[in-house]
Structure 1
């Protein structure tokens, strides 16, 4: 396959990464958005998204003449070999995926697509969406293809260029094989299947990861109650090749732009199919309960939240991104404020504007007069903070590490106490003793 003419509709995390990477693979890519100011910035090589390697990839694509940005999809789609739909599919009423953006694009370009142009869903869409798009198109000569993305924020470019697998599904086998060929230079296994199965792969994978995270958070809670250490437990689990090491780190809950909406959407799909997906529903309930447990843990560590001054380190849903969509860190910080705490927060990639808290631009400012400091996002820079200086600034001595990120001994040496998840509490009295030194 030679150079393909590709249109990517949407320039968010998925769309911009997809467009820039496909241009990097040698295709001619036109990225489309409705935001004129954003299109102008991108055409000038300015990338607003915090994503390692993405700005450089965009610049190379622009310089090589293989990447361009325009407003409106209709003209570009009229001469395309493939159109990727990378528009938002947020959680709608009752948890179902909201497909209005997808349907709007199909309505806009459906009648101008060249015959045999592949219309490809890259956004996460419910099982059966390909059939729904075919009905909206009303054209037998335009194949609809499902090609779900598996991009993690913070590593999206690396994930695209070095994928675990490439999943392509269509009821038109030749169209699916042609789309798979767009990735010919990537060394990854291809899974070519029907559209419904390809759509299900994305939900099945994301929901499995969500359940795995809820599971390890529940195990961490048991470890605390039974005197076990979650680090040793997950190390022992991780050597089992049937389980693996990924997604075995406890935290304040899972969030972001994908897992919350995908879990709710699959529950809705299951309900519509007459299946009570109790297992997945329980993982969602457990995730909400985890945030409540974290707030209770913090309250116990500082002796109550009403009137307490709490320093918060991290607001993004994960390190390496500025995304706060359904962020467990932001949720916990907001809950602390709702319980009467004075919240001073810092995140290296997230600015202010959140009700009930003061967001500062220096991590040491969160410690001034604080009764406790809470680590909520796993930014590596928090490991390197001067905890002796932080201790001097604090009023209290509690450090609650909801990511098990810090070196407990460094915190203890500063004269503070350390409390992680699923691990024995460490205080100055214990001075490095791994035994439990009280519970919050």
Structure 2
């Protein structure tokens, strides 16, 4: 099939490369000429394990091409995916749909035969209706169907998630569109990946509801972690004890410094705003968003307490900057709020991340970026493990001890065993233990 991706960002590039790997002919369209030039040269705009090999391999095979020319890019498309950004709109927290609407108008002006228009971007309920209206306003004769097909890709595991999904949600009641989408995803049938066909608005809400529920699980276990510290319990044992109940499950029950990234913060906020607009508020999600925001800066207080209540004039080593491992994504990462709070308290910050430094430089000021974890810890009065990269899981603690000005570790991901770290001469603090 002929597939066009509007947007060569995280969702568009991963989805386009995977569709091409299935044997479809895919064109990725993006307005950023520099990005397109880099993709032609095999340079990825994001870090995602395995993506460079997937993109370059399919480009060499001729199944994956890149252009800034939208009209040419959609000329022969059977399905056009809108995979542009929907960031939180400044001032009110609603999803900014300007890029989606602009793409819809450009598509409308260029389509010349029956085409399925697929919203892959995360959008509020009713956006498909808006896209359909805009296309018909721009081109009343357009023979199109607008479908919702939300993505469920985890950064760091996106390719595996696309190729072995636990579900594929498709929102359409159009028989022709259903046939096109079924054929498009036919290569996944051998993986027994279920296609869940729903109404368009239902599909749009499934995406937000899924992310909000996962954000709620994270926030729940973080509050239980605080209670564990107060009563002398161990949150890891609590999480295991409740997670073994298959009605609850063990995933997303890892206590830490709060959630971040490109999805959970903006999607929970967008769901809250949508619910308010429809007069059906989601009070639990409102609380989740508020508690998570407070938690990030609260983690800085844990670091300050580990430094005898004062970090003024002290150096703090931050191990991990991205919101999770195996990505370079810094959006809403807990490290940002933690670093800023420590700087406000007078600390000097040294930081290291295997992939996120260049993005961090765009967001953080007055931070010294180290070459490796040991360089980061040199002269530090506390080392704070913020992101659980594999590179931090087996540090030479004897070496770290010798490099630090004072041997204190604040483990915000509960990577290490407290008794083992303390036996090496460190003061050690973790989350909920």
CA distance in 2, matches of 1:85, 1:62: 21
Structure 2: give runs of 5+ residues left out of the alignment: none
**Residue of 274, 297, 304 corresponding to 2:302:** 297
1:346 corresponding residue in structure 2:
352
Deviates more, 1:351-360 or 1:413-422: 351-360
State the Cα deviation string for residues 175-234 of structure 1 (Å, max 9, x = none). 134213211111201100111000001000000001111101000000000100011101
SS at match of 1:26: coil
1:411 maps to 2:425: no
Equivalent residue number for residue 273 of structure 1: 278
Q: Offset of 1:407 from its aligned partner?
A: 3.5
1:53-112 Cα offsets, whole Å, 9 max, x none, are 111111221121111011121122122111001100000031100011111111112122
CA distance in 2, matches of 1:267, 1:342: 37
Q: What is the RMSD of the two structures over their aligned residues, measured on CA atoms? A: 1.3
Answer yes or no: is the 8 Å Cα contact 1:338–1:356 preserved in 2: no
Q: 2:93 aligns with which of 69, 88, 95?
A: 95
- The SS at the match of 2:186 is coil
Q: TM-score, normalised by structure 1?
A: 0.93
Q: Please, which of 393, 406, 409 is the counterpart of residue 383 of structure 1?
A: 393
- Structure 1 unaligned segments of length 5 or more: list them: 424-440
Please give the alpha-carbon distance, in whole angstroms, between the structure 1 residues aligned to 2:291 and 2:43: 40
For 2:377, the equivalent position in structure 1 comes to 367
Q: Work out which of the residue numbers 112, 116, 119 in structure 1 matches 2:117.
A: 119
Which residue of structure 1 aligns with residue 129 of structure 2?
Answer: 131
Q: What is the correspondence of 1:13-412 to structure 2 with a 5 Å cutoff? A: 13-93=10-90, 94-138=92-136, 139=140, 141-186=143-188, 187=191, 188-303=193-308, 304-351=310-357, 353=361, 354-412=364-422
Mapped contact 2:297–2:337 kept (Cα < 8 A): no
Question: What secondary structure is seen at the aligned counterpart in 2 of 1:111?
Answer: helix
Report how many residues are paired. 420
Q: Contact conserved, 2:107 with 2:135, CA < 8 A, in 1?
A: no
Q: Which whole-Å CA distance do the structure 2 matches of 1:122 and 1:252 have between them?
A: 30
* Aligned-residue offset at 1:402: 0.3
Deviation, structure 1 residue 395: 1.6
For 2:178 and 2:212, the matched residues in 1 are separated by: 25
Shift, 1:263, TM fit: 0.4
- Identify the range of structure 1 (381-390 vs 346-355) with the bigger mean alpha-carbon deviation: 346-355
Shift of residue 410, structure 1, vs aligned partner: 4.0
Native 8 Å contact 2:315 2:382 kept in 1: yes
C-alpha distance in structure 2 between counterparts of 1:224 and 1:409, whole Å: 16
Q: Secondary structure at the match of 1:68?
A: strand
Query: Any conservation in 1 of the 2:124–2:274 contact (CA below 8 Å)?
Result: yes
Indicate conservation of the 8 Å contact 1:168/1:180, yes or no.
Answer: no
CA–CA distance in 1 between the matches of 2:390 and 2:77? 43
Greater mean alpha carbon deviation, residues 407-416 or residues 294-303: 407-416
Tell me if structure 1 keeps the 8 A contact 2:9–2:45. no
Match of 1:432 in 2: none
Q: Larger deviation: 38-47 or 8-17?
A: 38-47
CA contact (8 A) 1:147 1:198 kept: yes
1:319-356 per-position Cα deviation (integer Å, ceiling 9, x unaligned): 11111011112221222112211111111112252213
